[in-house]
Amino acid sequence: MAVLRVRGRALPDGEPVDLYADGDRWTTDPVPNADLVAEGWLIPGLVDAHTHPGASTPGEPLDHDLLRADLRAHAAAGVTMIRSPGLAGDPPDWFGVDPELPRAVYAGPWIAQHGQFFDGWGRRAEHAELSQVAVAQARRSGWVKIIADWRLDDEPLPVDVLRAVVEAVHTVGGRVAVHSQHAAGGAAAVAAGVDSLEHGMCLDPALLHQMARQQTALTPTLDVITASLARRLATPDSPSRRWYVEGAGRHGTLVAAAAEAGVRVLAGTDAPPHGRVADEVRALAAAGMTPHDALGAASWAARDYLGLPGLRVGAPADVVVYPEDPRTDLRMLDHPSAVVLLGRLLSGSE
């Protein structure tokens, strides 16, 4: 296989670099006859940190053909890594290692209290067994996804139960992602010291500084939440409508405040169609994050959070190349000139 070469200005710092793909690692040692596949502005691979590929409708089983198609859509958009905090079934052996598809980390099935979450998806557990179930999953995949709250009138997961889960999972080297769209569930997640809060709608902004101190990341899935606002506004008045309109209406303000407080914000799309992480980047910027930080939430900052370094010697050979600095016009994210994944130029890239 030919050695690939890219050169240009590498974000986040904008320093000029000349990189060669030595297998799946970058090197600056020149390789004779390497193929110069792209020049321009180099981004260390986009990341969708909250996506559920492989099932088009909640409750459906994991479809391996659809999973591959969804991942191809991500890769075509420049996404070289995904985090799936919840899958509809056990992934196939090729998940996360196919050279034509994004790298992947995942949390296995969602874990919820009885009577909560989508029928047909995830596991249900009693409070007394929740830590044991979570630890078993963490040993398999590294991440665990807990549903802290669900419907408006449901009881959220008690903070002492969630704290016990976090402590147990951390003991075996795992990490805990928590779904929350209600104030009580979000407060319990922050108090328990979870690794990432997913959605975080209705979170009390007073908790943001604690999140920053304990390094709890926020994956707000802002674009999909605010996109549903107009539809909910058109429905008849009800407690559920009022909850959603209020929470979604101030979600962008919460995201901007989180970034200002020093919380690690991660870009995630949540719902299909897949390959839309650029929409989330633009939503984060529209909410008040700087274009630099909004892009970082879907690239270098997210990769660092998930354990992958950026564009330096010895780092995994992922890059997305653009002809101009995409921070000057985030619409440019829709048109990469080249995508390199695991040291290979993806088909369709120029």
Annotate 73-102 with DSSP letters as a single string.
HHHHTTEEEEEES--SSPPPTTTTT-TTS-
Please check the confidence at residue 350 and state whether its pLDDT lies above 90.
Answer: no
Please check the confidence at residue 140 and state whether its pLDDT lies above 60.
Answer: yes
Average of per-residue pLDDT across 17-30 = 95
Pairing of strands 143-147, 123-124: unpaired
Q: Name the residue among 56, 54, 85, 77 with its Cα closest to residue 279.
A: 77
Per-residue pLDDT, 118: 96
Average of per-residue pLDDT across 51-63 = 96
Biggest alpha carbon–alpha carbon distance for the chain: 68
Average of per-residue pLDDT across 138-145 = 98
Per-residue pLDDT, 10: 98
Helices 159-171 and 183-192: angle between axes, nearest 10 degrees: 40
**Structure confidence at residue 230 as a pLDDT band (50, 70, 90):** confident
Residue 65 has a CB neighbour count (10 Å cut-off) of 8
d(CA 283, CA 52): 20
Per-residue pLDDT, 2: 80
Average of per-residue pLDDT across 196-215 = 98
Average of per-residue pLDDT across 281-293 = 98
At residue 319, the 3 state secondary structure works out as strand
Looking at per-residue pLDDT, the higher value among 304 and 350 belongs to: 304
**Structure confidence at residue 274 as a pLDDT band (50, 70, 90):** very high
Average of per-residue pLDDT across 7-30 = 96
Q: Domain boundaries in the chain?
A: 4-43+311-345, 107-305
Tell which CATH classification among 1.10.3720.10, 3.40.718.10, 2.30.40.10, 3.40.50.80 matches the domain 4-43+311-345: 2.30.40.10
Average of per-residue pLDDT across 277-303 = 98
Tell me the pLDDT tens digit for each residue of 36-48.
Answer: 999 999 999 999 9
Tell me the pLDDT tens digit for each residue of 216-228.
Answer: 999 999 999 999 9
Tell me the pLDDT tens digit for each residue of 260-272.
Answer: 999 999 999 999 9
Average of per-residue pLDDT across 102-108 = 97
Tell me the pLDDT tens digit for each residue of 24-36.
Answer: 999 999 999 999 9
Which pTM was predicted? Answer: 0.97
Encoded tokens for 323: 């002809």
Strands (E), 65-212: 79-84, 103-106, 111-112, 123-124, 143-147, 175-180, 196-199
**Structure confidence at residue 54 as a pLDDT band (50, 70, 90):** very high
Kindly tell me the sign of the dihedral angle through the C-alpha atoms of 330, 78, 63, 178. negative
Per-residue pLDDT, 347: 64
Encoded tokens for 163: 């704290």
Measure the CA angle with vertex 207, ends 206 and 210; round to 5°: 125
Please check the confidence at residue 348 and state whether its pLDDT lies above 80.
Answer: no
CATH number of the domain located at residue range(s) 107-305 in this protein: 3.20.20.140
Per-residue pLDDT, 5: 97
Please check the confidence at residue 234 and state whether its pLDDT lies above 70.
Answer: yes
